[in-house]
Amino acid sequence: MIWSVEKPKNEMERLIDYTPGSSERDELINELNTIKGEVIEVPLIINGEKIKTGEIKEVHCPHDHDKVLARVHLAGKDELNMAIESALNSHGCWSELNWYHRAAVFRKAADLLAGPRRFRNIAAIMMNQSKNPYEAEIDLAELVDFWRLNSYYMNFIYKQQPDQIEGEMNRLDWRPLEGFVLAISPFNFYSIAGNLPSAPAIVGNTVIWKPSLNVSFSNFEIMKILMEAGLEEGVINFVPFASEISGLITKHPDLAGLNFTGSYETLVHLWKVINSNIENYRNFPRIVGETGGKDFVFIHKSADIKNAALNIIRGSFGYQGQKCSASSRVYCPESMWGRLEDTLKREVSKIPCGPVDDLRSYMGAVIDEKAFDDITDYIKYAEENEDCTTVLGGKSDSTKGWFIEPTIVKTDDPRGKMMSEEIFGPVVTIYLYDEEEYEETLKLCDQTSPYSLTGSIFSKDSHVTHLAERVLRYSAGNLYINDKPTGAVVGRQPFGGTRHSGTNDKAGYWTNLLRWMNPRSIKETILPAEDWRRKFMVE
């Protein structure tokens, strides 16, 4: 059947703002209250079956330690083997299903999520990830966009077919990979968690999905929607498990691919495991890994400084700085610091921090105790280090939840720890440069951190913007001009980075789907052969 998918409109354009007095706000509050009043059990889903192992991990709310959101059943070795078997057994049936039927499942899931399941899922993201309603909305909208746009890009790829000449017919059979895909997702984006198993699945792969245990409450909501949308049994197996036993899956001969988003260190560990086992696989496993960032904001003396300041606030403190794309190092001309400092101090001190179910909060808590300790260690380091001055914030409070104030540090050491390491929290470090040394400082920015994920340039002069684009060509996979370095929209700013930031396959774009495909060329010759000899041999 010939059929084309129209390019969908971004859900991002239809965000709900939950203004006081709106019916949406009332519905959201109802869902938040329901979640606060319940503790759900999260089973494994293997081959469509709910499995309870009794090996429990409790999921707590980051802004209220005492609130248990869910009791999650963890897989042991037996369940991992069952999940592998389920994914392998489902491969034939799912991969041979017409692509438009596969697309229909994800289109339906998108419509459920954008429609009747929206408020429950927004509330789940808020309570489990500690996101304010806006951050939860953009996260949910991103998953809707992933699901809808993946159908469109799958169709786009399938249409790519080779040249024909008279006497033969050539086709590309866009097969999925042979074996199963392992999807391992991070805590910070619900949308990424949903997309990591879905992108390989939509093009015909079967998947074992390991969610981040901290957020398996909100991630289970995604699995429920996929099942409600009619996803066939065994196509995505939802399997929370302790990282220590991951070798059973990563070393399996039928591992066809790893779709990973998380920290650089975890990807390196998994990559080494796969490397060391390379002779035991049936295929070379595809590795797609999107990791951390040390994302920059570079201000030129021509910049609109108020615009730069407001974007630093949104880019550094939105979702408590727990975005791989969060701005965490700023290069500011010395002469502009006074104005930048004034605006930052004035505006940042107005940011309300608190439990996100109190809809006055802009910032919530960081995800867990380990994150809290890691981030506060950086703040302590800055306080104790003579190259650094804490300009604003620096306090934290773990009495009720993992709260850390938005913190601004100024440093004289442009290559130091605060300017080069990913902190993954609400801490931004500023380095003042001599505006006569613009190009040299661009080079410094390029060379300071091992990451290369996102970055912003603020300037009103196209020539200097052009120079920055050139010098920083390999410093970021997503570069923004006069905007914050966060907030990529599926289909509009394909997202991903290189160097220590990942394999840059651009989630939600056709380049990513290609990684889960395994094209077979088929040539059919129309006319039968008449002779084996070539013309040069004819007498």
Largest CA distance in the chain: 96
Helix (H, G, I), strand (E, B) or coil at 312: helix
Q: Which position among 184, 196, 223, 514 is part of the footprint of ligand NAD (CB under 6 A)?
A: 184
- Closest alpha carbon to 421 in 377, 465, 459, 463: 377
Which member of 324, 356, 363, 445 binds ligand NAD (CB under 6 A)? Answer: 324
Token readout for 205 is: 């792969």
SS3 at position 188: coil
Stretch that binds ligand NAD, among 55-63, 210-218, 440-448, 459-467 (CB under 6 A): 210-218
Amino acid identity for residue 477 in this structure = G
79, 232, 290, 422: which one is catalytic? Answer: 290
Q: How far is the CB of 212 from ligand NAD (least distance, A)?
A: 4
Q: Does residue 275 belong to the site contacting ligand NAD (CB under 6 A)?
A: no
Give residues with Cβ within 8 angstroms of 100, minimum separation 6: 1, 3
Does residue 327 interact with ligand NAD by CB under 6 A?
no
Q: Annotated catalytic, 347? A: no
| Structure tokens, 473 | 């060509």
Is 136 or 336 the residue whose CB approaches ligand NAD more closely?
Answer: 136
Classified as helix, coil or strand, 347 is: helix
Distances (CA, A) of 300 to 252, 326, 429, 437, 462: 52, 20, 17, 11, 11
Interface segment toward ligand NAD; rule CB under 6 A; list 101-109, 284-292, 390-398, 510-518: 284-292
CB of residue 182 to ligand NAD, shortest distance in Å: 8
At residue 357's C-alpha, the angle toward residues 17 and 317, to 5°, is: 70
Using alpha carbons only, give the angle 13, 478, 151 rounded to the nearest 5 degrees.
Answer: 50
Do 222 and 193 touch, CB atoms closer than 8 A? yes
E-strand stretches of 291-326: 295-299
Query: Token pair of 413, please?
Result: 């050491």
- Residue closer to ligand NAD by CB (options 210, 410) is 210
Indicate whether 174 belongs to the interface with ligand NAD (CB under 6 A).
Answer: no
Q: Does 316 bind ligand NAD (CB under 6 A)?
A: no
130 φψ region: left (φ > 0), alpha (ψ -120 to 50), beta (else):
left
Query: Residue 80 or residue 113: which is nearer to ligand NAD going by CB?
Result: 80
From the list 62, 133, 176, 186, which residue makes contact with ligand NAD (rule: CB under 6 A)? 186
Alpha-carbon distance of 394 to 349, in angstroms, equals 12
Residue in this structure with the two tokens 């630093």, named with its chain if needed: 312
Residue closer to ligand NAD (CB basis): 362 or 451: 451
Among 118-126, 135-143, 163-171, 209-217, the segment contacting ligand NAD (CB under 6 A): 209-217
- The answer to whether 475 contacts ligand NAD (rule: CB under 6 A) is no
**Choice from 121, 132, 218, 261 touching ligand NAD (CB under 6 A):** 261
Q: Which residue is nearest to ligand NAD (CB)?
A: 262
List all residues 6 or more positions away from 536 whose beta carbon is below 8 Å from its beta carbon: none
152: its two tokens = 């469109």
Find the shortest distance in angstroms from Cβ 340 to ligand NAD. 25
Distance in Å, CB of 273 to ligand NAD, minimum:
8
502 lines the binding site for ligand NAD (CB under 6 A): yes
Both tokens of residue 38?
A: 């319940």
Segment near ligand NAD (CB under 6 A), from 61-69, 178-186, 277-285, 460-468?
178-186
According to CB under 6 A, which one of 246, 328, 486, 518 is a site residue for ligand NAD?
246
262 contributes a contact to ligand NAD by CB under 6 A: yes
> Which of 128, 130, 218, 291 is the binder for ligand NAD (CB under 6 A)?
291
* 422 lies in the binding site for ligand NAD (CB under 6 A): yes
Residue 290 falls in the annotated catalytic set: yes
Q: Is 189 in the site for ligand NAD (CB under 6 A)?
A: yes
Catalytic-role residue among 31, 221, 232, 324: 324
Quick count: other Cβ atoms within 10 Å of Cβ 282?
Answer: 12
Q: Which two tokens stand for residue 527?
A: 């006319």
C-alpha Rg value of the chain to the nearest Å: 25
Q: Which is nearer to ligand NAD, 132 or 501 (CB)?
A: 501
Nearer to ligand NAD, 135 or 341 (CB): 135
**Residue for token digits 């390989």?**
200
The span from the CA of 219 to the CA of 100, in Å, is 26
Residues 44 to 103 in contact with ligand NAD, rule: CB under 6 A = none
Quick one: which of 34, 161, 243, 335 contacts ligand NAD (CB under 6 A)? Answer: 243
> Residues in the site for ligand NAD, rule: CB under 6 A?
184-189, 192, 210, 212-213, 243, 246, 261-263, 266, 269-270, 290-293, 324, 422, 424, 453, 501-502
Catalytically annotated residues: 290, 324
